[in-house]
Each structure stands twice: as structure tokens, then as C-alpha cells.
Amino acid sequence: VKVTYVAHDGTRTELHGDPGDSVMSLAIAQGIDGIVGECGGSMMCATCHCYVEEDWAEATGPRMDGEEDMLESAACEVTERSRLSCQIKLTEAHDGLVVHLPEEQV
């Protein structure tokens, strides 16, 4: 499953994950700077904030229960495209997904 991470400065990094990985865990495993993932994916921080590219909003679905509240403590502006990347679990349907990273996470 191919996922492209677009850093705040526009740098694009393409990674390949497996179904079941989260957008956060894949980024951490491959050393993407723009995602911190302090809580390890249990929706207890907001350091895995990302913006899902518009075309992918449907495939990634709505926010999970509780995600909204946690996003309130995100370091950067929260928009309608904001998600906690640990709550986006990859499936084959996400092949080609593009997420944008905020300027900072803490």
C-alpha cells in the first residue's frame, strides 16, 4: 500500500506499508520527521496530526470516536481534513493515499 507524506516544506516521501499498519506507525518505522506519535497510537496525544488530501477523504472515512477531542490539543491549525494518523489503518483501498504534515506536532 503506497502512502505519500508531504512535509510542511513540500518534500514528498513515498512509503510502502502493509494493510493493518497505521499512517502513523508506517511513518515512525520509516523515520518520517513530521509525525511524532508520542502515545504510540492510543489516541492520547495529538502528535500524529495530519491532513488527508481531499481526494482521499472518503477512503479514509470519518474521524473515530474521541479523535475530535484529541485534535483540539494539536499544535497546528485543525481543519476539516485533519486526522490523527494513528487512527487511519491502511487497507488495499488506501493505495496511493496522500497526507500532508503540519509544521509542528508539539
How many residues contact ligand FES, by CB under 6 A? 14
According to the binding rule CB under 6 A, does residue 71 interact with ligand FES?
no
According to the binding rule CB under 6 A, does residue 44 interact with ligand FES?
yes
According to the binding rule CB under 6 A, does residue 88 interact with ligand FES?
no
According to the binding rule CB under 6 A, does residue 97 interact with ligand FES?
no
Name the residue among 93, 92, 90, 106 with its Cα closest to residue 5: 90
Residue of 7, 15, 39, 59 that binds ligand FES (CB under 6 A): 39
Quick one: DSSP state of residue 89? B
According to the binding rule CB under 6 A, does residue 23 interact with ligand FES?
no
How many CB atoms are located within 10 Å of the residue 67 CB?
Answer: 16
Using CB positions, name the residue nearest to ligand FES: 86
Helix, strand, or coil (residue 1): coil
Residue of 3, 48, 52, 101 that binds ligand FES (CB under 6 A): 48
Q: Does residue 69 contact residue 24 with C-beta atoms inside 8 Å?
A: no
CA atoms of 29 and 51, how far apart (whole Å): 19
List of residues 6+ apart from 69 with CB closer than 8 A: none
Q: Note the residues at the interface with ligand FES (CB under 6 A).
A: 24, 37-39, 41, 43-48, 70, 84, 86
